[in-house]
């Protein structure tokens, strides 16, 4: 996974840390449950924020969680141990060079990973090879272009756009959420269903105002300040005005909206292409 990260692992970490009420975890993960005995690959587990939720939600499934960062794997292992979970094993590996045989897994799970990849279809095709026929892939991604708010602010939108542009320059795609359907089609999956998971925040939900609008989304944008300015994408005053306006949306009359997308696809049971090539996906809908 030779990709440059714009914001490290902070965002998914923050989603977990600040989601005191579990509302976001439910929104993203409540409908993911794997049968007893199934083998599940979590590709790109990071520091294990999703791993704990996954392994707890499917206590009788066996998870293999991989990440390109050894430090992250170490932290994920500590976290899973602290949670008392025994159904996860970790492997330190690149998503483009995974040490598994074809058709090794019943299911694959990918969360907040594709946004960082310049070749997401290639990654999905590799993961598809590792799936048994009839197995599923579940992909969850955010989409920074889905953020809008009240009061509206051009400066705030420009600050968010800096994040989109920096991620693009790093080879990633901050708008990947809306693209899950075509990406899964192009990778050859079948029976694809994508559903948006919109986080709607007004002041009747102070947990989300603080945990999502302030500590997750706005904090993420604040985190690219130096990089955005150094890259010449925006003037410091303009960026800071955008951040002030994002904070303004956390007032009593403010509203903040953001959407994640969750896609599930199946690996067909039909004839597989010969040799080691990923499926061409010709029979996908």
Among 178, 225, 247, 248, binds a second copy (CB under 8 A): 178
- Taking the least distance from each CB to a second copy, the nearer of 55 and 192 is 192
Among 9, 34, 149, 239, binds a second copy (CB under 8 A): 149
The Cα–Cα gap between 124 and 148 comes to: 29
| Stretch in the footprint of a second copy (CB under 8 A) among 23-31, 128-136, 181-189, 240-248 | 181-189
In the bound complex, what is the minimum distance in angstroms from residue 27's beta carbon to a second copy?
A: 12
Q: Pick the closest to residue 25 from 163, 242, 216 (CA basis).
A: 216
Residues of span 255-274 touching a second copy by CB under 8 A = 255, 257, 259
**Helix ranges (DSSP H) in 67-110:** 70-82
In the bound complex, what is the minimum distance in angstroms from residue 175's beta carbon to a second copy?
A: 6
Among 82, 193, 244, 269, binds a second copy (CB under 8 A): 193
| Stretch in the footprint of a second copy (CB under 8 A) among 43-51, 141-149, 240-248, 270-278 | 141-149
> How many residues are listed for the chain in this entry?
285
> Could you tell me whether strands 62-67 and 255-266 are parallel, antiparallel, or unpaired per DSSP bridges?
unpaired
Q: Does 192 bind a second copy (CB under 8 A)?
A: yes
Helix axes 49-57, 70-82, angle to 10 degrees: 40
Instruction: Decide if 13 contacts 49 (C-beta within 8 A).
Output: yes
Specify burial of residue 225 (Cβ count, 10 A radius: 0-12, 13-18, 19+): middle
- Taking the least distance from each CB to a second copy, the nearer of 45 and 284 is 284
Q: Does 254 bind a second copy (CB under 8 A)?
A: yes
The Cα–Cα gap between 42 and 44 comes to: 6
- Number of Cα atoms under 13 Å in the Cβ half of residue 125: 18
Q: Does 186 bind a second copy (CB under 8 A)?
A: yes
In the bound complex, what is the minimum distance in angstroms from residue 30's beta carbon to a second copy?
A: 17
Among 4, 20, 169, 195, binds a second copy (CB under 8 A): 195
The Cα–Cα gap between 185 and 180 comes to: 8
Q: Does 204 bind a second copy (CB under 8 A)?
A: yes
Dihedrals phi, psi of 148, to nearest 5 degrees:
-145, 165
In the bound complex, what is the minimum distance in angstroms from residue 280's beta carbon to a second copy?
A: 15
Binding site for a second copy (CB under 8 A): 143, 145-146, 148-150, 152, 175, 178-179, 181-182, 185-186, 192-196, 198, 200, 202-204, 252-255, 257, 259, 285
């Amino acid at each position: 996974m030779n990709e440059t990260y714009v914001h490290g692992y902070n965002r998914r970490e923050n989603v977990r840390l600040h989601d005191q009420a579990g509302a976001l975890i439910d929104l993203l993960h409540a409908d993911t449950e794997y049968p007893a005995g199934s083998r599940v690959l979590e590709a790109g587990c990071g520091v294990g924020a999703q791993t704990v939720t996954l392994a707890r939600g499917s206590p009788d499934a066996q998870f293999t969680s991989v990440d390109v960062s050894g430090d992250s794997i170490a932290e994920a292992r500590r976290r899973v141990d602290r949670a008392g979970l025994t159904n996860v094993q970790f492997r330190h590996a690149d998503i483009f060079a995974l040490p598994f045989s074809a058709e090794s897994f019943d299911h694959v799970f990918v969360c907040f990973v594709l946004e960082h990849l310049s070749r997401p279809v290639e990654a999905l095709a590799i993961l598809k090879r590792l799936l048994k026929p009839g197995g599923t892939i579940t992909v969850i991604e955010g989409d920074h272009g889905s953020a809008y708010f009240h009061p509206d602010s051009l400066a705030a939108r420009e600050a968010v756009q800096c994040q989109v542009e920096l991620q693009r320059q790093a080879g990633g795609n901050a708008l990947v959420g809306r693209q899950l359907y075509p990406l899964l089609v192009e990778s050859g999956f079948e029976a694809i269903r994508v559903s948006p998971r919109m986080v709607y925040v007004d002041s009747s939900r102070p947990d989300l105002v603080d945990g999502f609008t302030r500590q997750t989304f706005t904090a993420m944008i604040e985190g690219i300040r130096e990089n955005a300015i150094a890259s010449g994408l925006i003037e410091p005053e303009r960026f800071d005005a955008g951040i002030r306006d994002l904070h303004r949306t956390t007032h009593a009359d403010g509203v903040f909206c953001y959407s994640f997308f969750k896609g599930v696809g199946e690996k067909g049971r039909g004839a597989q292409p010969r040799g080691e090539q990923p499926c061409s996906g010709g029979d996908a809908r």
